[in-house]
């Protein structure tokens, strides 16, 4: 769970509805008599909340914007008044990447028409589509790349084959053009995919009326959601190519849509846009599809990786690399920093690093985890029983206080005993 203020009880105390109902003095002590009276005679509020107040409470605490704002402030360690300034500064690199990619595709189309006579006879927006599909790749780098020394990359190309370089100069230019264009497009689509995943988790938290993002990795979508998006995108694309562009039959249109966004691109069916606007729609459609497809491969590979390492012990945990903002360090370096902060001896730190693999293996063993959960459950049960006994004792004291308050003072021959309650503590006085 990624918690950025996941104490919902503390957050609720800051919203409008909580304070209006549970408004109490800070120094008020709730004795057993008041507790019993509150149980039998609960607080009744005569004022009803208007729809405007409810919406204001939702907007300030649980809306998509409120959760995103709080997350952004904590992630970037900025002040509330500097929110939009920091957001603008952080947005500049992403905007520049997409802007440069746009000019790169358009400039590549112009360059191909200048150096290849056959391409020069094609329509300019058709050549733009050719340059985009030339560099359109999905390069899915699994999370393992960032945690180990292994590079595992899945690269597949989409290209319809209706426009191809024919001269030696254009073929040589195509090689260098794709060397820059492929990683540039990968960088752009990866950023967009991560933003979509983060937006999904924030939206889900907003629907649940909580400020917690309940996920182990907010950069990835659940596999079921990605599959639904992939199929929905294929159907929408099929309708576009059936009802508008090319007006294909339904099944071939959906088939063409699917093989395009999965970057298969057999070339048996090619789109034939009639104007620049249709070309723009095709490129936008392919870009969105490749974002979804890259997210799908990342989510699927995460499950396959778990299956691959099922039953294995941890090894090399001290050399695993983690990211903090823009800084990368190994787990051993991180532990050294933490140990120095808490004045841990070098010998103890060495022992922890030496046995780190065994420590993690034992901590993640299902049997050990089950025993830990059972012990915690039994401990919580004992605490609950202890709290219940204490509650019953306080209730008994409260009942005695009520009886003593309602009882008139009587005469006793030898000794009379009565109770005085002050903040839940009984004092016994005797008179003879």
- Res. 221 pLDDT band, cuts 50 70 90: confident
Backbone angles phi, psi at 128, to 5 degrees: -60, -45
For residue 419, give Cα distances in angstroms to 79, 343, 398: 55, 54, 11
Backbone angles phi, psi at 422, to 5 degrees: -140, 110
Query: Is the same domain home to 173 and 235?
Result: yes
- Res. 383 pLDDT band, cuts 50 70 90: low
* Mean pLDDT on 143-169: 53
* Mean pLDDT on 359-374: 60
**C-beta of residue 398 within 8 angstroms of C-beta of residue 36:** yes
Residue where one domain finishes, among candidates 47, 82, 117:
82
pLDDT, residue 411, reads: 46
Query: Is the same domain home to 104 and 251?
Result: yes
Q: Are strands 425-431 and 416-422 parallel, antiparallel or unpaired?
A: antiparallel
Does the pLDDT value for residue 234 go beyond 60? yes
Query: Is the same domain home to 89 and 69?
Result: no
Query: Is the same domain home to 110 and 209?
Result: yes
Does the pLDDT value for residue 48 go beyond 70? no
**C-beta of residue 135 within 8 angstroms of C-beta of residue 177:** yes
Residue where one domain finishes, among candidates 21, 51, 82:
82
**C-beta of residue 296 within 8 angstroms of C-beta of residue 170:** no
Query: Is the same domain home to 237 and 360?
Result: no
Query: Is the same domain home to 122 and 254?
Result: yes
Does the pLDDT value for residue 104 go beyond 70? yes
Query: Is the same domain home to 191 and 319?
Result: no
Domain count, the chain: 3
Query: Is the same domain home to 57 and 111?
Result: no
- Res. 377 pLDDT band, cuts 50 70 90: low
Least confident of 14-28, 93-107, 372-386: 14-28
Query: Is the same domain home to 206 and 291?
Result: yes
Burial label, 330 (beta-carbon count in 10 A; 0-12, 13-18, 19+) = middle
Q: What would the pLDDT profile of 125-139 be if each residue is shown by its tens digit?
A: 888 888 888 787 544
- Res. 217 pLDDT band, cuts 50 70 90: low
Query: Is the same domain home to 101 and 185?
Result: yes
pLDDT, residue 179, reads: 87
pLDDT, residue 100, reads: 93
Rounded-to-integer distance, Cα 137 and Cα 262, Å: 10
Q: Which residue has the higher pLDDT, 158 or 221?
A: 221
Residue where one domain finishes, among candidates 82, 113, 129:
82
* Mean pLDDT on 27-42: 51
Q: What would the pLDDT profile of 322-353 be if each residue is shown by its tens digit?
A: 666 557 777 777 777 777 777 777 667 667 66
pLDDT, residue 144, reads: 36
Domain residue limits at 359: 313-390
274: in domain: yes
333: in domain: yes
Q: Which residue has the higher pLDDT, 64 or 211?
A: 64
375: in domain: yes
Q: What percent of the chain has pLDDT over 70?
A: 55
| Selection from 313, 293, 399, 415 nearest residue 355 by Cα | 313
The beta strand positions in 101-254, using DSSP E, are: 137-141, 153-157
Burial label, 402 (beta-carbon count in 10 A; 0-12, 13-18, 19+) = middle
Does the pLDDT value for residue 88 go beyond 50? yes
115: in domain: yes
**Quick one: the chain helix, strand, coil %, rounded to 5?**
65, 10, 30
pLDDT, residue 60, reads: 83
pLDDT, residue 7, reads: 52
Q: Which residue has the higher pLDDT, 6 or 122?
A: 122
192: number of Cβ within 10 Å:
19
Query: Is the same domain home to 144 and 235?
Result: yes
Does the pLDDT value for residue 430 go beyond 50? no
371: in domain: yes
pLDDT, residue 216, reads: 59
| Selection from 192, 224, 393 nearest residue 296 by Cα | 224
Q: Which residue has the higher pLDDT, 253 or 420?
A: 253
pLDDT, residue 289, reads: 85
Rounded-to-integer distance, Cα 343 and Cα 339, Å: 6
Query: Is the same domain home to 167 and 72?
Result: no
- Res. 96 pLDDT band, cuts 50 70 90: very high
Q: What CATH number does residue 296 fall under?
A: 1.10.287.70
């Amino acid at each position: 769970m990624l918690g950025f203020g996941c104490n919902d009880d503390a957050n609720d105390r800051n919203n409008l509805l909580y304070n209006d109902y549970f408004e109490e003095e800070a120094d008020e002590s709730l004795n057993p008599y008041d507790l019993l009276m509150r149980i039998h005679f609960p607080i009744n509020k005569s004022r009803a909340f208007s729809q405007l107040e409810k919406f204001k409470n939702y907007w300030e605490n649980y809306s998509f914007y409120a959760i995103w704002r709080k997350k952004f402030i904590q992630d970037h360690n900025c002040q509330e008044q500097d929110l939009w300034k920091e957001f603008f500064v952080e947005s500049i690199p992403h905007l520049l990447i997409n802007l440069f990619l746009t000019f790169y595709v358009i400039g590549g189309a112009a360059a191909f028409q200048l150096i290849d006579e056959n391409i020069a006879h094609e329509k300019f927006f058709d050549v733009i589509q050719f340059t985009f599909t030339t560099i359109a790749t999905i390069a899915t780098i699994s999370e393992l790349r960032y945690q180990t020394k292994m590079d595992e990359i899945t690269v597949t190309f989409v290209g319809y084959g209706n426009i191809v370089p024919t001269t030696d100069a254009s073929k040589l230019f195509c090689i260098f053009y794709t060397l820059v264009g492929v990683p540039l497009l990968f960088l752009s689509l990866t950023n967009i995919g991560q933003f979509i995943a983060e937006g999904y988790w924030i939206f889900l938290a907003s629907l649940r009326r909580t400020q917690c993002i309940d996920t182990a990795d907010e950069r990835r979508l659940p596999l079921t959601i990605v599959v639904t998006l992939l199929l929905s995108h294929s159907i929408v694309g099929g309708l576009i190519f059936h009802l508008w562009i090319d007006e294909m039959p339904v099944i071939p249109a959906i088939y063409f849509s699917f093989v395009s966004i999965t970057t298969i691109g057999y070339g048996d069916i090619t789109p034939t846009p009639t104007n620049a606007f249709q070309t723009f729609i095709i490129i936008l459609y392919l870009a969105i599809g490749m974002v979804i497809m890259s997210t799908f491969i990342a989510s699927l590979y995460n499950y396959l990786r778990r299956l691959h390492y099922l039953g294995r012990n941890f090894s090399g945990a001290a050399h695993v690399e983690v990211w903090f903002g823009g800084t990368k360090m190994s787990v051993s370096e991180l532990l050294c920093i933490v140990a120095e902060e808490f004045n841990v001896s070098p010998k103890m730190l060495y022992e922890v690093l030496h046995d780190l693999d065994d420590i993690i293996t034992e901590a993640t063993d299902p049997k050990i985890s089950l025993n830990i959960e059972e012990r915690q459950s039994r401990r919580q049960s004992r605490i609950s029983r202890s709290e219940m006994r204490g509650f019953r004792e306080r209730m008994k004291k409260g009942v005695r206080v009520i009886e003593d308050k309602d009882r008139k003072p009587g005469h006793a021959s030898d000794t009379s005993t009565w109770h005085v309650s002050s903040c839940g503590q009984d004092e016994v006085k005797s008179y003879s």
